[in-house]
Amino acid sequence: MLTTHPSALARNMKAELQEVMNMLRKHQGAIDFSNAPIAEREELATDVAGIMDALFEVMKKLPDE
């Protein structure tokens, strides 16, 4: 049976969450420069920012080592 040390799991989880954050940043940039109505862009940007904030809070709770 293969066991993984909790710190390795936390590092992997942080790396995966960082990847998701990077994808969200790209989406946020696309929203900013889209042709959608401003109200729709603002709503989408707010949603993306909220998701990023939630991910950051999860990342802070993961152990560093």
Looking at residue 7, its pLDDT comes to 79
Distances in Å between the alpha carbon of 37 and those of 30, 31, 33, 34? Answer: 13, 10, 11, 9
The conformation of residue 33, written as its DSSP 8-state character, comes to T
Alpha helix segments (H runs only) across the chain: 6-32, 38-61
- pLDDT per residue as tens digits for the range 20-50: 999 999 998 888 888 989 999 999 999 999 9
Cα–Cα dist 51/65, whole Å: 25
Mean local confidence (pLDDT), 37-65: 90
The structural domains of the chain, with segments of one domain joined by +, span 9-61
